[in-house]
Amino acid sequence: MKNTPFTDKHIALGAKMAPFAGYNMPISYTSINEEHQTVRKNAGVFDVSHMGEFMLKGENALDLIQRVTSNDASKLTAGKAQYSCLPNEEGGIVDDLLIYCIEENKVYMIVVNASNIEKDWNWIQKQNKNKVEMHNISDDTCLLAVQGPNATKILQPLTDMDIMNLKYYTFVKGRFAGVDNVLVSATGYTGAGGVEIYFENKGDNADKIWNAIFEAGGPQGLKPIGLAARDTLRLEMGYCLYGNDIDDTTSPLEAGLGWITKFSKDFTGKEFLEQQKQEGIERKLIGFEMIDKGIPRHGYEIKDHSGMLIGYVTSGTQSPSLGKAIGMGYVRNMFAIIDTTIFIKVRDKLLLAKVVKVPFS
């Protein structure tokens, strides 16, 4: 099992640790509910250094990115980032990812899920016909997500870069907490605002940045946050988690990711998805909330009022912010309508739920 540069700190802080995507990661430090609220109401720090980063360089880098991803990366100018996915040719998703345009038409960084680093690398390499220079910098890159409404206010004194006014999905690169070559982007997967901070894993960079962040934020209530709260935060927003809500067999159109699927350009899997769009999808990812008491979990069956199986739960939890049980799942199209009542099979019982809009409210 791999460690991140911060593993010792998590253990010293008393975090509950567990293997995640081959890394020894902090699941929770105190309580999921508490950590969740800290991020929603103030600010918290996630170690997400397990995520994968690839650099793509050269005149054909954009062509390759356009070929393998579904969103239109030609729209990116230096300093902008984009959410996208790698579709396969059978209407599934190899991974979802972020693309950072470091230098237009020349240098791009893509950020992928830890569990998919090798799969993504091979998938992209296979389509790299024009010998785009690719580097897997995952092991040499630290990533801390500082999320929450007070995150940028807390971090601003650590840098001369203007991060308080950073627009969503843009980034700056420069000196941060005495460390050079730090990329700060207004991204994150919590819906709480804040930034993600990428920097090189060398020398005492990791120590310096972690310590500076907590020295600046500690007095203001900034806390370390585990992966469990990361999951409840993203689920409240209705964001897909790879391996749960999307995978090699779910199409971006079914997953509600049509907005990152641009048919105005060519890409791997386009034909399949275009046809799927024309013919109409048979199932759709929905958000639902429980009416009966019970918590939906990944893999539970979804049924209609007659007891017919209409789909499966992909994610579920008790929502710490809303105080009710929420979930996502794929259902047959005709049930994917707001306010439709459905039943979730929780152990031996069919519990009433209804389809709702995401983000959950």
Partner 1 sequence: MNFPESLRYTKEHEWIRLEGDVATIGITDFAQHELGDIVYVEIETLGQELKSGDVFGTVEAVKTVSDLYLPVDGSITEINPKLNSNPDLVNTDPYGEGWMVKMKVNNTADVNNLMDAAAYQGVVG
User: Which tokens in the block code for residue 248?
Assistant: 């090699």
Is 352 a residue that touches partner 1 (CB under 8 A)? no
Please report how close the Cβ of residue 311 comes to partner 1 at its closest, in angstroms.
Answer: 20
Of 33, 60, 127, 340, the one binding partner 1 by CB under 8 A: 33
CB of 353 to partner 1, least distance (A): 15
Closer to partner 1 at the Cβ: 92 or 226?
Answer: 226
Binding of residue 353 to partner 1 (CB under 8 A): no
Regarding 57 and contact with partner 1 (CB under 8 A), the answer is: no
Structure tokens at 95: 């991974």
Least distance in angstroms from the C-beta of 360 to partner 1? 15
Complex with partner 1: residue 41 or 297, whichever CB lies closer: 297
Specify the long-range contacts of residues 211-219, CB closer than 8 Å, at least 24 apart. Answer: 212/158, 212/177, 212/178, 213/45, 213/144, 213/146, 213/154, 213/155, 213/158, 213/177, 214/45, 216/154, 216/155, 216/157, 216/158, 217/43, 217/45, 217/146, 217/154, 217/155
Closest distance to partner 1 from the beta carbon of 7 (Å) = 20
User: Cα dihedral angle (219, 224, 230, 234), rounded to 10 degrees?
Assistant: 20
Question: In 3D, which of 10, 59, 57 has the Cα closest to residue 228?
Answer: 10
Q: Among all chains, which residue has been given the structure tokens 């350009």?
A: 265
String of contacts with partner 1 for each residue 312-331, x by CB under 8 A: -----xx-x----x------
Token pair of 9, please?
């700190």
Q: Does 37 bind partner 1 (CB under 8 A)?
A: no
Binding to partner 1 by CB under 8 A, coded x per residue (else -) over 223-262, reads -----x--xx------------------------------
CB atoms < 10 A from the CB of 106, how many?
14
Should residue 357 be labelled a site residue for partner 1 when binding is judged by CB under 8 A?
no
Element (H, E) at 271: helix 270-279
Nearer to partner 1, 24 or 60 (CB): 24
> Of residues 12, 203, 306, 347, which one binds partner 1 by CB under 8 A?
347
- Selected from 135, 175, 293, 305, the binder of partner 1 by CB under 8 A is 293
Interface with partner 1, residue 114, by CB under 8 A: no
- The residue from 17, 55, 295, 358 that contacts partner 1 (CB under 8 A) is 295
Part of the chain binding partner 1 (CB under 8 A), chosen from 30-38, 44-52, 170-178, 186-194? 30-38
Nearer to partner 1, 208 or 297 (CB): 297
Minimum Å gap between C-beta 107 and partner 1 is: 39
Q: Does 298 help bind partner 1 (rule: CB under 8 A)?
A: no
Confirm or reject binding of residue 294 to partner 1 (CB under 8 A): yes
Q: Which two tokens stand for residue 125?
A: 């390499």
CA dihedral in degrees (335, 338, 340, 345; nearest 10)? 70
Tokens of 168: 């969503």
Which residue of 10, 15, 25, 32 would you call a contact of partner 1, by CB under 8 A? 32
Q: 196: annotated binding-site residue? A: yes
Count of alpha carbons within 13 angstroms of residue 204, beta-carbon side: 6
**What are the DSSP E strand ranges found in 40-148?**
44-47, 52-57, 80-87, 93-103, 107-112, 133-136, 141-147
The answer for residues whose C-beta is within 8 angstroms of residue 94's C-beta and 6 or more apart is 85, 86, 87, 88, 116, 119, 120, 123, 248
Dig out the tokens for 318 from the structure.
């008790």
- C-alpha angle 196-159-139 in degrees, rounded to nearest 5: 40
Q: Which residues are annotated as a binding site for substrate?
A: 196
Which spans of this chain sit near partner 1 (rule: CB under 8 A)?
16, 27-28, 31-33, 228, 231-232, 293-295, 297, 317-318, 320, 325, 347
